[in-house]
Amino acid sequence: LTVVFTGDGAAAGNYGYTNSGYSVYEEENDRLTESLRTKVSAIKSLSIEIGTEVKNQNKMLSEMENDFDSTGGLLGATMGRLRTLSRGSQTKLLCYMMLFSLFVFFVIYWIIKLR
């Protein structure tokens, strides 16, 4: 076994080993850095897609809110008309119902009589 010394007193073979060890660590760091870069890129694209989806969902919710507001307005107008109708003359409504009932009764009587 022969050891060659350099001018500063360190062994020449030892310097080469240390240099190659650093090279292995650097390669491993580069590989891990690239893996981390890939994962960060995937997370970035996923967060962008989530942001786009959230914007679309907010737009749909806004449209649904507008639809429900218009439906609520229509229902409110219908209820107002029913209140107006119910405040009207009860005797007039009762008279119409009696006339309709008599009409139905005579139609049924006429159909039975023809048989």
Alpha helices by DSSP H, the chain: 12-87, 90-114
Per-domain boundaries in the chain: 30-114
Contact 12, 4 (CB under 8 A): yes
d(CA 64, CA 54): 15
Report, as an integer, the average pLDDT of 91-100.
Answer: 82
> What pTM value is reported for the model?
0.46
Cβ partners under 8 Å of residue 15, min gap 6: 6
d(CA 15, CA 8): 12
Name the band, by pLDDT with cuts 50, 70 and 90, for residue 17. Answer: very low
Residue 53 is encoded by which pair of tokens? 């989806």
Segment 41-53, tens digit of pLDDT: 999 999 999 999 9
d(CA 92, CA 84): 14
Segment 55-72, tens digit of pLDDT: 999 999 999 998 888 888
